[in-house]
Chain A
């Protein structure tokens, strides 16, 4: 059982925008600005897409954006493209002792 909660799946048509939520607690998402998001195509290395809630690493498309409100963080993908079809995981620092926690992942399907 994951410490963070994500929807199992989200889908959208090419060109649309979708948002993936990541719900936690004050001890992780709500209390710290250390939320990150990862894109994972099965069989490949996971890729960092967003760090510290809103920051994009160099080379990541500006179609990906992150935000946070209270204990819930969100990843928005705008202008959805076929290549965005993947699993997306959120992660957060936690004061619980395990240092960081992850969500169970959300499968994004491009219709």
Chain B
């Protein structure tokens, strides 16, 4: 069973870059069965899919965030990362990493980490 754990900066200044990492245990991120996603939930709002990276590095992003997002793999550390640049207060949210093995559903999730954008 996969386990995912988010880590990274919890407080980011406006206009800077939000960076998070998701450590994966119980399976390899190189496994072709999986894709690896980031999602977020702003306070009082619904969940939003940010994007995913496939085992071979192919990515797909939510069009609303595409210009600011990069998701990448680090196979040597069995983890994947999220970078979101030019952040504003609207990017304050609980950020989750998750895995997908099938079609459009998320099998395993991290606990989530609250990232606050504030000066």
Contacts and interface: CB of A to CB of B under 8 A. Distances in A.
Interface residues of B, number: 23
A48 B106 contact: yes
Interface in B41-74: 45-49, 60, 62-64
B105 A105 contact: no
Nearest to B102: A51
A104 interface: yes
Interface stretch (B7-15, B78-86, B108-116): B108-116
Main secondary structure on B side of the interface with A: loop
17 contacts: A1-B45, A2-B46, A3-B46, A36-B105, A46-B98, A48-B107, A51-B105, A52-B102, A91-B106, A93-B103, A98-B63, A99-B104, A102-B46, A102-B47, A102-B48, A104-B46, A105-B46
A92 B49 CA distance: 11
A34 B105 CA distance: 8
Interface string B94-105: 001010001111
A88 interface: no
Given A93-B104, A97-B63, A99-B60, A44 B111 contact: yes
Interface of B: 4, 45-49, 60, 62-64, 96, 98, 102-112
Interface in A54-111: 57, 89, 91-93, 97-105
Nearest to B52: A99
Contact of B47 (A1, A51, A91): A91
A103 B46 contact: yes
Given A2-B45, A34-B104, A51-B105, 5 more contacts: A45-B109, A48-B107, A48-B108, A52-B105, A99-B49
A4 to B, nearest CB: 8
Contacts of A43: 111
